[in-house]
Amino acid sequence: MSKDKRLLSEKDIDNILKNLSDKIISQHSSESKKNPLVLIGIHRRGVPLGKRLKNIIEKKTDKKLLSGTLDITLYRDDLDTIGHTPVVKNTDIPFDLTNKNIVLVDDVLFTGRTVRAALNELTDFGRPKRIQLSVLIDRGHRELPISADYIGKAIKTERNEIVMVRLKEIDGIDEVVITEK
């Protein structure tokens, strides 16, 4: 028994991404060449979201952005307990992160554990100047002291609800849906 509630449509997601990119641009407008902005998408749905943000920001600022993808599987804290090995996807950061201004991109901020793993992994690629976090949805229920710098939409959820972000690149449709377990 599950009841789906549609939270965001394709148009909503478009608007939110434009909004997020404006906020990112304004915060990074005074950056020097020494500390360029880098967008890193977290697998899976942070990757297409990161690409979309990159496109919007590049169009608005007329500047090329460095970007990469991050798979946090090997840094997870629950490999001993989930009883199977999750699929390891490609991490692609073909440049040194030292002195870069990084914005991590993910779809949903929930417990904060994914972000914890991502932070640990990123520091293995150098010593960034700063790391920020951008998410489409902040649904609360943090288990670690982590917060996002750019939030598309903050919503109240029950712990057992599931927030599903579907994106064209992966799911064939753009929408956000809440389901009860």
Partner 1 sequence: MKSEKQIARLPTSPDAGRRNGGQAWKHKHLLGLEDLSALEINHILDTAESFKEISTRNIKKVPTLRGKVVVNMFVEPSTRTKMSFSLAAKRLSADVVDFSPSTSSLSKGETLKDTARNIEAMGIDIVIIRHTSPGAPHMLSRIIDASVINAGDGAHEHPTQGLLDIFTMREQKGKIKGLKVAVVGDILHSRVARSNIWGLTKLGAEVIAVGPPTLIPLQLRDLGIKISYNLDEVIPEVDVINILRIQLERQRSKFFPTVREYARLFGINSERLKKAKKDVMIMHPGPINRGVEITPEIADGNQSVILRQVTNGLSVRMAVLYLVSAVSQKGE
Residues forming the site for partner 1 (CB under 8 A): 44, 71-72, 74-76, 78-92, 96, 108, 110-111, 113-114, 120-121, 124-126, 162-164, 166, 170-172, 179, 181
> Rounded to the nearest whole angstrom, what is the least distance from the CB of residue 43 to partner 1 in the complex?
9
Q: Decide whether 154 or 170 has the Cβ nearer to partner 1.
A: 170
> Rounded to the nearest whole angstrom, what is the least distance from the CB of residue 57 to partner 1 in the complex?
25
What strands, in cross-sheet order, belong to the sheet with 4-8?
4-8, 175-180, 161-166
> Rounded to the nearest whole angstrom, what is the least distance from the CB of residue 45 to partner 1 in the complex?
9
Residue 77: both structure tokens together: 């804290």
- H/E stretch holding 137 reads strand 130-138
Count Cα neighbours of 164 within 13 Å in the Cβ-side half-sphere.
16
Q: Which amino acid is at 5?
A: K
Q: Decide whether 10 or 78 has the Cβ nearer to partner 1.
A: 78
